[in-house]
Amino acid sequence: MTSALSMAVAFPLALLTAGSAMAQQPTANPLDTIPEKMPFSTPYGPPILLQQAQSANQAAMDEASKRGWPMNIAIVDSGGNLVSFVRMDGAQLASISIAEHKARTAAKYRRPTKAFEDAVQKSDYKYLLSLDDLVASRGGIPLVADGRIIGAIGCSGGAGSQDEAICTAGAATINK
C-alpha cells in the first residue's frame, strides 16, 4: 500500500518537474534559420505580351464559365502593371481590386499568393501582414516563360480555392 501511495505522489511530481523543465527551454524561432539558397529567386523577364495575357485570361474565363463561377481575372506584367482584365457577368465588385492585388503580389514577390496564406495560417507568420502591397490569400500565380517571370495572374470572386483553380487554368497557358 505504501508503494502505491508513493507512486501516486511521485508520478504527478515527476510530471510537474518535467513540465517545469520544458517551460524553461527556449523555443527556436524558425525565422532564424538561414537557407543555403535564395528562396523564390526566379529572375524577372521581359513584360508579358498582350496576346499572351489575353490567352491566359481566356483560359481562366473558360474554366470559370465551365464551373459557373463568375470571376474577376487580372493579368499584370513583370513589373506588376495591369495588362489585361476581365470582369465576368455577375462577378462581385469588391473582387475587381482584389484580383489585381493578387496578381501584383504574385509578380512582385515572385511566388504564388498561397505561399503567404500558408505562412500566415499554418506557420503563424503574422509579420507578413506588415509587408507592403501584399495579399495573403490564394488566387495569385506568377507567369513564367523561359525560366523568367513575365507577369502574374490574379483571380477573385469565389472562395480562395476557387480563385486558385481558375488562376491555375489561366497560368497553364504560359507555365509549361
Pick the CATH number of 50-171 from 3.20.20.140, 3.10.20.740, 3.30.450.150, 3.40.50.170: 3.30.450.150
Instruction: Output the pLDDT for position 115.
Output: 96
Q: Is 3 helix (H, G, I), strand (E, B) or coil?
A: helix
Which of 170, 47, 153 has the alpha carbon at shortest distance from 106? 153
pLDDT class of 9 with cuts at 50, 70, 90: very low
**Cα–Cα distance measured from residue 105 to residue 103, given in angstroms and rounded to the nearest whole number:** 5
Domain ranges of the chain: 2-32, 50-171
Q: What is the dihedral sign for C-alpha 90, 96, 100, 105?
A: negative
pTM reported for the whole predicted model:
0.81
**Concatenated DSSP letters for 33-57?**
---SS-SS-PPB-SPPPHHHHHHHH
